[in-house]
Structures are given as structure tokens and as C-alpha cells.
Amino acid sequence: MDERRKESRVDGGVDETAVSLFVERFAAQLVQAGMARMPARVFASLLSSERGALASAELSERLKISPAAVSGAVRYLAQVNMVSREREPGSRRERYRVQGDQWYVALLNRDTILKNWQATMEEGVDRFGLDTPQGRRINDTLEFFRFLEKELGSMMGRWAAHRAEHLGG
């Protein structure tokens, strides 16, 4: 294999262009769903890396972005539990890792958010009353959040069974 061809391969022989196309396509879909562009690109890059973990410098190089952009993106992704930080052994450098179950963890954390929203909606219904248009709208939102909470719990149980059956974990 000549040097030029070797340089265009990353992560155990996967073509760098193919990786880049995947990263940009998935990142664009995440942006369409509401995620900011840099966190979407960093997440897609981590997800598509062989180890599922990259250092800041590696992310900077792969995505052609500044270390500050990586830092901001990772801060957001860690906040929403989509990546974790870990120290490289014997170094002060951090590595960022995406887990196989990041979607499960992220959705579980939404449960706390739903409970907070429900509490606020309950206050709104109490404040405005069900005999007002705004009270009825707020109550409709409250019932939707209650429904989501119930369904999310049931769905997570089904996912755990599905994952164990199909992925052994």
C-alpha cells in the first residue's frame, strides 16, 4: 500500500472520506433535529471512531475545528450525558468517549426534565384554573407530559429486553 493511500485510511482501515461523509450526514440530521452544529459533528465523529473515544487534538484534526470549538461541543454533550470524559493513562489530557447506550441514558435523563415540567404545568393549571383557555392549554400539555413519562418508562423496559436479546447486553 503506498503512503498516500495509507494516509487516507483511519480507524482500522476505514476510508477517511467515507468516515467524513458519515459524520457530516449524521451531524446534519442531528442539527435538523435541534442539536447545535459543533456538538452534532463531535458526537458523530466519536460515534464513528473505532474506539468510540478521541482526544481533543484528534477531534480538532478530524473535524478541522479549533480546540475551543471541541471544548464547547464536549461541554454540551457531557451535560446531556451523550459523552463522558476520561483521563488518558499517565497524562493530563482528556479523552472523550461515546458509550453504546448513550441514547438510553440521554432519554432516562429526560425523565427528570419531564417531572420538572409536569410540576410547573400543575402550578399553571392551579394558577389559571381549568375554566380558562390558558388553563386548559396548560392542562393539555400536562397530560401530554404525564403520557410521555408513562410511555417512556414502558418503552425503556422493552428496549432493555430487546437489547439483551439482540445485542447480548
User: What does 124-162 look like in DSSP terms, one character per residue?
Assistant: HHHHH-TTSHHHHHHHHHHHHHHHHHHHHHHHHHHHHHH
Report which DSSP code applies to 96. Answer: E
Q: How far apart are CA 63 and CA 43, in angstroms?
A: 11
Looking at residue 10, its pLDDT comes to: 57
Domain ranges of the chain: 3-97, 102-167
- What are 15-68's pLDDT values in tens digits? 888 999 999 999 999 999 999 999 999 999 999 999 999 999 999 999 999 999
Confidence check: pLDDT of 75 > 80: yes
Name the residue among 61, 62, 83 with its Cα closest to residue 72.
83
Looking at the domain covering 3-97, what would its CATH class be? mainly alpha
Q: What is the largest CA-CA distance in the chain?
A: 76
Q: How far apart are CA 5 and CA 144, in angstroms?
A: 54
Q: Are 73 and 54 in contact (CB under 8 A)?
A: no
Q: Which residue has cell 499517565?
A: 90
- What are 117-161's pLDDT values in tens digits? 999 999 999 999 999 999 999 999 999 999 998 888 888 889 889
Q: Are 126 and 105 in contact (CB under 8 A)?
A: no
Name the residue among 15, 10, 45, 11 with its Cα closest to residue 27.
45
pTM: 0.74
